[in-house]
Structure 1
Amino acid sequence: MNRFQNKTAFITGGNSGIGKESALIIAKEGANIMIADIKENKDVLKELESLGVKAAFIACDVSDPMAVKEAVTATVKTFGSLDVAFNNAGVGDEGFIHEKTFEQWKKVIDINLSGVFYCMKYEIEQMLQQKNGGNIINVSSILGQVGTPGASAYVAAKHGVVGLTQTAAAEYGAKNIRVNAIGPGYIETPLLHSMSREQKYALEQMHPMKRLGRPEEVAKAFLWLASDDSSFMTGDYIPVDGGYLAQ
């Protein structure tokens, strides 16, 4: 199928993990792709272009609002529109609250929460100018619904992403702009690569399915939310978590 032919997807953190797989899955359905990430990965661009679509990269630190504005502007200048936005860039967190430095707290909040706000602000400004509106998917987490020790900034940010998603959906539902959030469980991405086998096993056991998720499993949820198959959904939070939140 080519459901996204002549449409443009803007994906933050698109060089690896969930972002990369989401870029590939929507490119296979015809979408042109703008990857916004800290550093360029030409192999990812070549892989996307091999699917017969146009792909471009722009360096973007989502914690910098002017960098985000420039990235959205460049997307429209390059491809002519912004139809799907996937606000996926994020960093991990560690340390109990009394141990956490202000710098650690600020970094996680700036990227994982404020970065999503900056992206939504400029994405929505563009989508309001388009006849067909647009579609925004934000990456929250299972930790956007519950807490966990040692990740206070991450938990606060991901809860905030759910609230931002719901608020934006209420504000722009009549403007043909849909906004939803995905809540991945623990997924086999570069964020977990520094963990030992024992640590990964412990994470696996937290899920009723007794394994980690795969980036492509989250990408499939992204594709569905980006498509008209989910046309009456906005302000929703969809967990992709191997049953984590069912417990």
Structure 2
Amino acid sequence: MQIDYSGQTVLITGAAGGLGRAMADRYREMGANLVLSDLNPDAIPTCSRTLTTLCDVTDAGSVRAMVKAGVDRFGPLDVAVNNAGISGPFGKFMDLSAADWNSLLSINLTGLFNCLQAEVPQMREAGRILNLSSLAGVAGAPGLAAYAATKHGVLGLTRSLAHELRKQQIRVNALCPSFTDTPMLDAMGPEKSRFHTPLNAMGRFGTANEMADAALWITSRENSFMTGQAISLDGGISAL
């Protein structure tokens, strides 16, 4: 199946590195007009079909300005990929500070709330939304309990909006990667080795390109009957 995004407007948050950058590259290759945002927009590669902008997803005004800039440049949104997020520190829940808890909530959950509220009114009928959750949004994550709580929240929003937005035929799904070889995982330092698990049937971390290819299909016009789903790309971990 050939997936073509020519003439379609795709918005991606957290586009400067890791999954966001890989997804931006793949949508660009497929012909999309891109609205790419990050706290570090200078790190986002650009082309004539790309608008890059600074955006803090915890600030609703910043998000609205980003969406408006994209719509003013390319027209209504066809696809929104809500990718911005953080993992937080690795450690026991009882050692987690209130500041770290609030930071995770404000970026991973309130940030998604801000994005969705700004994006939905600017979407074409039959638009597509992809929210980045995690395997930690499907199962528990010892050592990353707060992160898991926010990613479970992402799935709750995804499933609820899939039904709320059905009259506009806007499809809403979530991608749930497991441990993927990105800067976010590298930031775990020595703890990274903990995430090699015998439950992973593939015996390796996922790659950013594998997640980007999944995003292309999930948000494509051809994938027209999927909504409200949490798609796990986890090397088989959730199969047991």
Question: Normalized against structure 2, the TM-score is what?
Answer: 0.93
Q: Which letter does structure 1 place at the counterpart of 2:74?
A: F
Quickly say closer, same or farther: Cα 1:188–1:42, change in 2 above 3 A: closer
Matched, 1:100 2:93: no
Unpaired runs of at least 5, structure 2: none
Task: Give the percent of matched residue pairs that are identical in Structure 1 and Structure 2.
Answer: 38
State the 4+ residue runs in structure 1 displaced beyond 3 angstroms.
198-202
Matched, 1:6 2:7: yes
Which of 111, 116, 119 is the matching residue for 2:115?
119
Match of residue 202 from structure 1: 194
Which of 212, 218, 243 is the matching residue for 2:211?
218
- Quote the Cα distance in structure 2 between the aligned partners of 1:62 and 1:43: 17
Q: Deviations over 1:184-212 (max 9, x none)?
A: 0000111122344x643431225221110
Which of 75, 78, 88 is the matching residue for 1:80?
75
Q: Deviations over 1:117-175 (max 9, x none)?
A: 11111111112xx3x34110000000001112221211110000001000000101121
SS across alignment from 1:182: strand
Question: Normalized against structure 1, the TM-score is what?
Answer: 0.91
What is the Cα-based RMSD across aligned positions, in Å? 1.6
Equivalent positions of 1:33-182 (< 5 A) are: 33-41=34-42, 44-45=45-46, 49=47, 54-94=49-89, 95-127=91-123, 130=124, 132-182=125-175
Unpaired runs of at least 5, structure 1: none
- Quote the Cα distance in structure 2 between the aligned partners of 1:176 and 1:65: 25
User: How far apart are 1:29 and its partner, in Å?
Assistant: 1.2
| Contact 2:82–2:132 under 8 Å retained in 1 | yes
Match of residue 229 from structure 2: 236
| Contact 1:139–1:181 under 8 Å retained in 2 | yes
Q: How many residues align?
A: 237
| Contact 2:33–2:74 under 8 Å retained in 1 | yes
- Quote the Cα distance in structure 2 between the aligned partners of 1:185 and 1:42: 25
- Quote the Cα distance in structure 1 between the aligned partners of 2:216 and 2:7: 16
Match of residue 22 from structure 1: 23
